[in-house]
Chains A and B, each alone.
Chain A
């Protein structure tokens, strides 16, 4: 077994031994990935900006602040454990395949600007 005195947890985390032996990951040895969402100003949506890996939600926040909140404007950050985010499988992408054909569902298909402008003009007239 390779021994290494490195202080780097990436080197020692898995105690990699000979190839035949099963790798056992004990509880707490592997860190979680946390998705990071930042908010540019109060009231705005939190937007996904990337991820950090951390041993706890608290440290994920601490890391995310410097990783994604040290430049430009930021007022708040969310972190969510990636494993806690339910998502569709890649092969389920076909559920969305025909979207492009259904233009009648696009709001852009409705010609309403004329009506809106007419309404606005009417409002101005009343004032």
Chain B
């Protein structure tokens, strides 16, 4: 059966107030056969209740092991425009800052070689180009690299690091997230483009515990800005807030560690008990500010449920001073990778390896000291033991 251009099931998804992906693909279909056949094969998939995509594992550009995700359809005669429908991942600038001319430059390349459809941004953080053919990959690569862009990561490699806007426009940033992301991307070019790990590894950098990159749930290594000293309090501003909000109920009562008290006039914080969650600072930004001794909490092991179940990140360094060129961070990451490389099974994320071999093995390999912040849940301490040689 040949495709007649009609898409009754997709048309239903144009209704309603929200922007519709169907409307966008239809707009693109006026210009390219790729988009036209994408509509057709999607309508067909809805009707057949089965995907018509096949994974292509070997397509890419010469020398790189990542950045292109191969896709073919299983109905190429019926939908020739999507016989090849490869995805290209473009490594974005830190925190997704583009000038309008940079976006135009990228879109011009994509209109020339691909479907014109994009996904900004994919969950890894790359600018994603949807739909091109195998013979267009090298020309795309040549054009983007000539203009200073590069492919992002895919496969068993370091995925494109990502960061929140940090100090560029956020008053809560405790670390220079964009600089860290940019520097790590440059330091780890080999690991990004030439997959040599047991599986993927994601680094995400958030400037504070609000964690705008959702690193804690999504990154194998979360770098979360924090502070070591005391929260700075402006009691006059606290008084102003007290006329507009119920500080006892909304701030003190919701503090997760119950480290605050308010007597109606001034706010007191027992900083030793504070876990730097940012709730009070978010609610009263004029009255409360992070301390002056800033750095990051380094966490390990967050991941979505792909091979095994989802994991949340786990503290491995409660406080690390982070200043350019971040050699201390690089050294830690390389030690972690070495241990993972030596012990990880195929498709085993680093957090899963910690679960399998134990935190003790990880700590011995990296030289990190066991600290109370590593305890994942109350009354659990499964990894700190005396080794036989340490007992006198």
A binds B: no
Interface residues of chain B, those whose CB is within 8 Å of chain A, are none
What residues make up the interface of A, taking CB atoms closer than 8 Å to B? Answer: none
